[in-house]
């Protein structure tokens, strides 16, 4: 099968490599000439994705993967097109479809009868049917559901472990009609492998959700659930702080019962998904008060961590404070909607002088992200924002002037911080 993957980013490129590993001929299309050049040379354009380097080189050497900036030409050679173009949204979840619209119009120019088009980028419910179907039809002269098949099949993977997650989780597919859905299921069964899982209500594999709308909602629902759950955990943590209770022990006790699945509280919820998709859901369903309240609760946590620091340290005016971690998640070099920004802002509002360090970022990179880099300045307080593995070994001797540490992720070893007041969220 000839397949075109549109956008060779942190999800699209591993997908293209996965499809090629199954023996299919894959053309990756991307507007970034440098990315195309690196892929064609067998060089991964971004670090950190497990096994991508090896698998990419194998696919290129086998002649099964190539890249181009000409999306229309790549689509014209394909029987299936998988779209993983970024959808940008603002802090309120309002989508900016600019890049996806441009990609869709380019796809339409090369679209030919019989082709399957599958969108994997997370979308508001109804987008596949009401936006992409007419746009593809108008610019191609073909009729959606008659001349070509159209489905939505959300990516459900985490960067850094894409190949493992592709095997671990069912692939959800829903189309604009029964024929499209059937073709989408058939396609993904040919390009993916699945781990055996006995914990699922049906065998692991490609799951038919019936409609594009059901598939779109499934992605929004599973990520919104996590945000709501974390919001609840953060509410419990704040109450525990007020009453001298260790919320970690409480959550462990609750989760020993099979109907309780309380997540862990913490300083921030970051990344491209969890803080954004609930807002996207609210764009569809503005009356969802539970979702809105949870998002507000989680967005307030960086400021709450600074409040904890002030309560333990005292007046923060003029105090140099080190924020440990720019990344939104430990071990991932990504600052998308990271809690570092809210933490730095809250420190400044308190009159403190914040600095940021992160083992994955240079001082120049931090500056480029609008963050003040830590370059050895004397700091007397610290807030841990990202749960990097390196911070488990961090100790008071590494920051000898620090009097108070707020560990927003419960990552540090308390035995290494003797003589320092160490505060955690939730007791």
Q: What is the pLDDT of residues 244-270, one digit of tens each?
A: 999 999 999 999 999 999 999 999 999
Name residues whose C-beta falls within 8 Å of residue 238's C-beta, 6 or more positions apart in sequence. 304, 425, 426
Q: What percent of the chain has pLDDT over 90?
A: 96
8 A C-beta contact, residue 426 and residue 247: yes
pLDDT score of 157 more than 90: yes
Q: Are residues 274 and 412 in the same domain?
A: yes
Within the chain, what is the greatest distance between any pair of CA atoms?
Answer: 72
Total number of domains constituting the chain: 2
Task: Tell me which of 144, 178, 210 is where a domain ends.
Answer: 210
Average pLDDT estimate for 75-95 = 90
pLDDT score of 134 more than 90: yes
For the chain, give me the number of helices (H) and strands (E)?
16, 15
Q: Are residues 143 and 217 in the same domain?
A: no
User: What does the buried/exposed string (b/e) look like for 346-367 if buried means 16 or more CB atoms within 10 Å of the residue's CB?
Assistant: bbeebebebbbbbbbbeeeebe
Residue of 411, 297, 404, 305 whose CA lies nearest to 349: 305
Query: Which pairs with CB-CB distance under 8 Å and at least 24 residues apart come from 96-100?
Result: 97/131
Radius of gyration of the chain measured on its C-alpha atoms: 23
Q: Are residues 199 and 271 in the same domain?
A: no
pLDDT score of 313 more than 90: yes
Quick one: pLDDT at residue 47? 84
Alpha helices in 89-161 (DSSP H): 98-110, 127, 133-140
Q: Are residues 198 and 270 in the same domain?
A: no
The C-alpha atoms of residue 48 and residue 34 are separated, in whole angstroms, by 18
Average pLDDT estimate for 228-237 = 98
Q: Are residues 246 and 322 in the same domain?
A: yes
φ, ψ of residue 188 in degrees (nearest 5) = -70, -25
Q: Are residues 250 and 388 in the same domain?
A: yes
Q: Are residues 206 and 319 in the same domain?
A: no
User: What does the buried/exposed string (b/e) look like for 57-82 if buried means 16 or more CB atoms within 10 Å of the residue's CB?
Assistant: bebbeeebbbbbeebbbbbbebbbbb
More confident residue, 287 or 88: 287
8 A C-beta contact, residue 12 and residue 35: no
Q: Are residues 96 and 161 in the same domain?
A: yes
Q: Are residues 107 and 235 in the same domain?
A: no
Q: Are residues 178 and 218 in the same domain?
A: no
| Domain coverage including residue 150 | 2-210
Collapsed DSSP state (helix, strand, coil) of residue 65: strand
Task: Tell me which of 179, 210, 241 is where a domain ends.
Answer: 210
Helical (H) or strand (E) element with 94: none
Q: Give the tens place of pLDDT for each residue, 88-125.
A: 887 677 899 999 999 999 999 999 999 999 999 999 99
User: What does the buried/exposed string (b/e) look like for 151-180 if buried means 16 or more CB atoms within 10 Å of the residue's CB?
Assistant: bbbbbbbebbebbeebeebbbbbbbbbeeb
Q: Are residues 340 and 388 in the same domain?
A: yes
Q: Give the tens place of pLDDT for each residue, 160-199.
A: 899 999 999 999 999 999 999 999 999 999 999 999 999 9
Average pLDDT estimate for 35-55 = 95
φ, ψ of residue 82 in degrees (nearest 5) = -115, 125
Here the CATH number for the domain that contains residue 351 is 3.40.50.720
The C-alpha atoms of residue 286 and residue 264 are separated, in whole angstroms, by 27
pTM: 0.91
The mean pLDDT value of the chain amounts to 97
Task: Tell me which of 149, 181, 210 is where a domain ends.
Answer: 210
Q: Are residues 18 and 90 in the same domain?
A: yes
């Amino acid at each position: 099968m000839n397949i075109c993957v549109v956008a060779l980013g942190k999800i699209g490129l591993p997908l293209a490599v996965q499809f090629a590993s199954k023996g299919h001929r894959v053309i990756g299309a991307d507007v970034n000439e440098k990315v195309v050049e690196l892929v064609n040379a067998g060089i991964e354009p971004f670090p950190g994705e497990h096994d991508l380097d090896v698998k990419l080189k194998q696919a290129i050497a086998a002649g099964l993967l190539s890249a181009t900036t000409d999306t229309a030409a790549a689509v014209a050679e394909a029987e299936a097109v998988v779209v993983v173009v970024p959808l940008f949204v603002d802090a309120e979840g309002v989508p900016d479809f600019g890049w996806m619209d441009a990609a869709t119009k380019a796809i339409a120019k090369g679209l030919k009868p019989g082709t399957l088009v599958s969108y994997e980028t997370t979308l508001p419910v109804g987008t596949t049917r009401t936006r992409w179907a007419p746009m593809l039809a108008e610019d191609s002269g073909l009729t959606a559901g008659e001349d070509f098949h159209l489905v939505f099949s959300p990516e459900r993977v985490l960067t850094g472990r894409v190949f493992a997650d592709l095997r671990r989780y069912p692939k959800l597919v829903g189309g604009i009609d029964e024929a499209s859905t059937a073709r989408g299921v058939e396609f993904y069964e040919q390009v993916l492998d699945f781990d055996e899982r006995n914990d699922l209500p049906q065998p692991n594999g490609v799951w038919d959700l019936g409609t594009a709308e059901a598939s779109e909602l499934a992605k929004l629902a599973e990520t919104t659930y996590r945000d709501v759950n974390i919001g609840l955990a953060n509410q419990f943590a704040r109450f525990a702080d007020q009453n001298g209770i260790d919320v970690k022990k409480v959550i462990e006790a609750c989760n020993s019962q099979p109907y309780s699945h309380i997540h862990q509280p913490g300083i921030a919820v970051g990344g491209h998904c969890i803080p954004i998709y609930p807002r996207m859901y609210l764009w569809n369903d503005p009356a969802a008060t539970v979702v809105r309240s949870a998002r507000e609760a989680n967005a307030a946590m960086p400021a709450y961590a600074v409040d904890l620091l002030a309560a333990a340290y005292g007046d923060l005016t003029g105090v140099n404070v080190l924020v440990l971690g720019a990344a939104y998640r430990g071990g991932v070099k990504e600052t998308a909607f990271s809690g570092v920004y809210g933490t730095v802002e809250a420190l400044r509002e308190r009159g403190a002088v914040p600095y940021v360090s992160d083992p994955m970022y240079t001082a120049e990179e931090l500056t480029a992200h609008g963050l003040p880099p830590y370059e050895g300045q004397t700091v007397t307080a610290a807030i841990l924002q990202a749960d990097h593995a390196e911070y488990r070994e961090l100790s008071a001797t590494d920051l000898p002037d620090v009097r108070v540490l707020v560990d927003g992720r419960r990552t540090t070893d308390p035995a290494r911080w003797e003589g320092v007041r160490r505060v955690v969220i939730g007791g």
